Amino acid sequence: MAKLFHRRYKVFFGCWFMISFLMLYTAACGQAGQSNSVDRIASVEPEQLMQLDQSADSFYRLARNGDLEKAVVHLNQLRRHLEQLPMNGATSVEGKSEVLHSVIRAGKHIERVSPDLKAIQFSAAQIRLAIDSLTHPEAPMWISFEDDLKGDVEQLRVQIRDRNMEQAVTSFRKLNETFQMIRPAVYIQKEAWLVEKGNSFLVFFATELGKPSMNQSVFMHTLDEFELYLDELFGDSESTTTLPVTGSERPWLWSFGIGSFILAVLSYYAYQRIQYERKNGVPPRRGSPV
């Protein structure tokens, strides 16, 4: 009976020890994953970011001047730099995809038999803002468009109130164009759901303006909500940044794992000591349960 008890005792503490170890390992993996994300950001060489920024700026300037033959050279350089850049951790998956899609769209526009210069210049502006958002996260250029967007909203509000629908459509197109121009840059620094929230507002406005008759009060209320959304979008970037957060995401698991590990070690040590004293005929000390 005693041997069976000792065997079960060993099995019990062996399992306890392994569970505690696995909990510690799981919590530690979470910490390591966060550290690796930070390391990936730190591993991006300043020269890489400089080359990326220079290629984007050169492509933008050449496209703006209509020199597409030279512009496409810098666009291809930019695409190579983007593909080589370890962006995981520096931005979200959506952010990386938006930048690459902007580059691909620009290339398709240039490759057409009759290139659409305005479309190319628009894509060039998107790319320039997106790369700047990546290389200058502390003060990105897209932030400067807040006043433009809010000015467009105010114009749209006045025109809807006065039922000047023709001018309202023109103001909305300007508002939508500005938002779409900064969208890839916003994806770099903000959560995807926040960007898509803005797209949802714009889809609603476009749908309502396309109707023969619209509910003015509902439109005006939604316009007020959109202005609040812009306050959220251009607010403190630290609250919605995609950079990894320091500290453990599972502090309770870490603490419980440490406590269980220590308790398992101490209990196993006590069990081994009791076995040793019994085997060698050491008399139990005062207060000992055996």
Distance (Å, rounded) from C-alpha 105 to C-alpha 94?
16
Residue pLDDT, tens place only, 55-114 = 999 999 999 999 999 999 999 999 988 887 765 555 566 777 888 888 999 999 999 989
Sign for the pseudo-dihedral over CA of 281, 282, 287, 289: negative
**Does 1 have pLDDT greater than 60?**
no
CA angle (168, 170, 174) in 5-degree steps: 115
Q: Can you tell me which residue has the tokens 């628009």?
A: 122
32-136 domain in CATH 1.20.120? yes
* Top-tier CATH class for 141-244: mainly alpha
Letter string b/e over residues 180-205, b meaning 16 or more CB atoms within 10 A of that residue's CB: ebbbbbbbbbbbbeebeebeebeebb
Whole-angstrom distance, CA of residue 250 vs CA of residue 109: 48
Task: With CA atoms as reference, report the closest residue to 5 among 214, 285, 280, 278.
Answer: 278
Provide the CB-side half-sphere exposure for 225 (13 A, CA): 13
Whether residue 144 contacts residue 133, with contact meaning beta carbons closer than 8 Å, is answered with: no
> Where do the domains of the chain lie?
32-136, 141-244
Do the first three CATH levels of 32-136 and 141-244 match, i.e. the same topology?
yes
Sequence-separated (6 or more) residues with CB below 8 Å from residue 196: none
User: What are the pLDDT digits (tens) for 218-266?
Assistant: 999 999 999 999 999 998 544 333 332 333 334 444 344 545 555 554 5
pTM of the model: 0.65
Burial of 228 (0-12, 13-18, 19+ CB in 10 A): exposed
| Radius of gyration (C-alpha) of the chain in whole angstroms | 31
* Predicted pLDDT of residue 235: 85
